[in-house]
């Protein structure tokens, strides 16, 4: 027979609720929050670049597009953006290290690789070269539309990778610490 407390909750239900609340977290809460915030900020920033900034650049005459792209490149090189982009890389690696000896290793490795390869890797393999060419140009390169198109395709990969990393991290963070 199940005992009922005066408030109508069974003893079993009360014990289950206490167990759930006292269950250890797989990741420290601060690490979860900082990682999720970093991934969300990067996904939002890259989404904005794909759907607002790059199309606006594409709509400008070549000389104005070149000037605007140079201004964006100069503006984005700041401690807040760098700290967010590269700090998030450090956080996803930290999550993977924390989860390495647990059943959550796959989740952590998944979102770390999505971010490190999809965002950081694509940045350095595709976008840095294009951005350097733009910064060095005094006149719009004849292939400016192709450069912007390549940059935009790579940025779509970065935006989708950051968003996918956030989703995988969120699901991983919701997994119980102990199986």
> Which structure tokens are listed for 166?
């956030």
Residue 8: CB atoms within 10 Å? 7
Amino acid 8: pLDDT: 61
Q: What is the pLDDT of residues 64-89, one digit of tens each?
A: 999 999 999 999 999 999 999 999 99
Amino acid 13: pLDDT: 54
Amino acid 138: pLDDT: 93
> Which structure tokens are listed for 104?
């959550």
- Could you give the C-alpha distances from 125 to 103, 132, 175, in angstroms and in order? 32, 12, 34
In whole angstroms, what is the distance from residue 79 CA to residue 85 CA?
Answer: 10
Q: 41-71 burial, b for 16+ CB within 10 Å, e for fewer?
A: bbbebbbebbeebbeebeeeeeeebbeebee
Amino acid 67: pLDDT: 95
Q: Is-contact 124 85, C-beta < 8 A?
A: no
In whole angstroms, what is the distance from residue 81 CA to residue 141 CA?
Answer: 27
Q: Is-contact 126 151, C-beta < 8 A?
A: yes
Phi and psi, residue 4, nearest 5°: -110, 135
Amino acid 3: pLDDT: 59
Residues of the chain with pLDDT under 50: 14, 17-19, 21-22
Residue 169: CB atoms within 10 Å? 27
pTM: predicted TM-score of the whole model, two decimal places: 0.83
Amino acid 16: pLDDT: 55
């Amino acid at each position: 027979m199940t005992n009922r407390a005066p408030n109508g909750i069974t003893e079993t239900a009360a014990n289950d609720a206490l167990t759930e609340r006292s269950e250890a977290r797989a990741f420290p809460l601060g690490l979860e929050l900082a990682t999720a915030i970093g991934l969300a900020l990067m996904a939002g920033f890259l989404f904005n670049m794909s759907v607002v900034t790059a199309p606006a650049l594409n709509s400008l005459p070549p000389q104005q597009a070149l000037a605007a792209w140079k201004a964006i490149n100069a503006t984005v090189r700041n401690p807040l953006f760098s700290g967010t982009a590269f700090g998030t890389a450090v956080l996803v690696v930290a999550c993977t290290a924390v989860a390495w000896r647990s059943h959550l290793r796959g989740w952590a490795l998944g979102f770390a690789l999505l971010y490190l390869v999809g965002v950081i890797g694509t940045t350095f393999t595709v976008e840095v070269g294009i951005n350097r060419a733009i910064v060095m140009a005094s006149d719009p390169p004849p292939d400016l539309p192709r450069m912007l198109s390549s940059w935009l395709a790579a940025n779509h990969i970065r935006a989708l990778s950051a968003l996918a990393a956030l989703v995988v991290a969120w699901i991983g963070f919701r997994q119980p610490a102990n199986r």
